Structure 1
């Protein structure tokens, strides 16, 4: 009779069995930053999911990979050994994947862009890129915040209002400039011109957005203007607050690139002008662009129209 310890024919002994690949990926991200929260942001998971994955891996191996103290984590000697192997292994897989994707003819370059910037600035100018590069296939998708280049995204246009991993390559595109904007017919009701510099009236309705709740505070700090104290109306997305300004419902904080077309067409005015708030938009990628190719073409074009 065959002993149960031999297992099924052809099965691997427990010491040769690979750990969960999902757990290894979570561990690699956590070990690279020595921070579970940053790993969760990078992989679009919760802190608890990263913690459970690491604990599963530690239970599977029978040893500790992190030393936990004072709400921080540090790699143990075993953790450093495993991280080196997993990091190199994932790097080889990513490199092979990039090469295989690059070998596919006419594979579109997938570019993620913050939704309102995509709708109000990038898409209206996109025919210009297509005219300059008719042979380059690009697929535009809406997205914001941290981006995972392992999920089918090749490039991302983001404002630097969050911290991206050191492994991400960033090319600066343009500075963010903001200012109060409103319908031309509402200027007298919302602004006073008793001084050389127009100012918001005390009762001006502020149009705010949940996706960028600090917009008014950031503008006040950057411009040196007092924070308005009027009534506020809050919208779910930036686009809605700008449309509300066009409709005459109040005054919104308008980033230049999101409102420049409306100002040129006369739908909006900016009585107080625009002020750089210290942030910038960047083109994010897993590696630097070469001297030629779709990524280099897109970067040069974005800078030319900014």
Structure 2
């Protein structure tokens, strides 16, 4: 008897080939549609603290919708990896067979996280940004995610120009110089001036201190924070979130425990949690985001397992379509 084949393995190269920008965008729209329709199952995000050289460990578990296999992302974060020549975050995504529960595939979690995060922001911008196009975009933070967001946001069109700011001006200059995205991209020396005329501001840092003041934001603009993913991460302040015309999150229960600006807005500035909108409600049901055209919308994304589930399943679907018939 021929032994059964083991789980399929998709490395960084395979993930990037199969999860192109259009596929990634569609997967993240489906993730939030399923979440908004109540079809997705989302387990609690688990984090084990590190210390003494040990990595912080995290685990996300989710099912996109009934009949799809459960997907788990397991990984660690260790700043000492830089000295080792490794990425700070290391992760693996595991897909279980929907019926047997056996491991069906493993995928490179670093690539999935990078691509699905930027694609999810593109989905959020499509649904939350002002209707008028083309949009002036500002990206704050020019590392891995800043570069991924530059590609994702310009790929879907409707962008007039992009301003880039980073604490290290050389990184902004390097990203701008290498950009081949079909619109003008320019580094800016001052973050406040860089965001003042932006219709969309995307923060891609891990800052523990606020980078933006709401009085510097153009009326009607949309501000996205992907780096405020933990209680101590505050790309904007709690006051900023409380003063926004609308706060939107990827998943409310998670945001109330993990999203630093949202937690601070509720605890210290009187933001009513019932006034916070989930992105899934906008994607699935067209929930109203603005009551006036001048409302500033603040979207805080901590990243949730259903995003990984949708991306992983999209990769497997594309791989199956591309595979030669027996």
Task: Report the TM range for the smaller structure's normalisation.
Answer: under 0.3
Q: Larger Cα Rg: Structure 1 or Structure 2?
A: 1
Indicate the structure with greater helix content. 1
TM-score with structure 2 length normalisation?
0.25
TM-score with structure 1 length normalisation?
0.26
